[in-house]
Structure 1
Amino acid sequence: MSDNTFASTGGETSGRGPDDYDRLFDVLSAHRRRIVLRHLADVGVASVGELADRLVARGVDDPDATIALRHGDLPRLRDARLIEYDPRSETARYDGDPLVEELLSRTRAGDRRA
């Protein structure tokens, strides 16, 4: 008997392999990236400045939040194929992912307060 707790509804895994799950868990291990994803899930598209403001509103105390987003968090989320990020326009877009939504709903970032 196999317990595939990462399978989406209907038992299919959306074409993800073990390496994909490892990358997903790695990128979602950072609280700030979960906040960014939750905000993007709520609004669809946001600027780097908006995302930095959201991090501050959620209590992330980082005077260099904008730099960290530009050069760390957003490229990592893009490389994990969770968002589209355009550094020229400084905008990020998230189209949604059922597994990511489920994981976010079970973390502090899933709390939509603040």
Structure 2
Amino acid sequence: MHTAVASFTQLPSGNWRVQVRRKNRYVSETFRRRKDGEGRALDMERNIDRSGSPKPRAAVQAKTFGDIIDLQIEDMQEVGRPPRRSKAAVLEALKEALGTVKLPKLNRERLIELLPV
């Protein structure tokens, strides 16, 4: 039997970082409440046991490239560092150009097709 090692660290922002190491896999996520992290740690361990993949929360929830951008902005705000003007503009432009593209359809050719040169 493989033992799971989930560690919880409170960050200066007050959020909690959860790190799971199991079967030579590693995943880390940040949560506002430790209790949320504890539940997610259990889910991560189960995913590793079932499929060998720890799949973080964002990978499970994100369906489009716009979802990924929203998650990035949300993560930045949670740690008290919202995107500044230039990064916000780039993220907005990417979301406008690629936001509706489903992740499985996002590849090099699609980027070349959709992004202005």
TM score, norm. by length of structure 1: 0.25
Structure having greater relative contact order (Cα 8 Å, sep ≥ 6): 1
Decide which structure has the larger Cα Rg and report it.
2
Which structure features the higher share of strand residues?
2
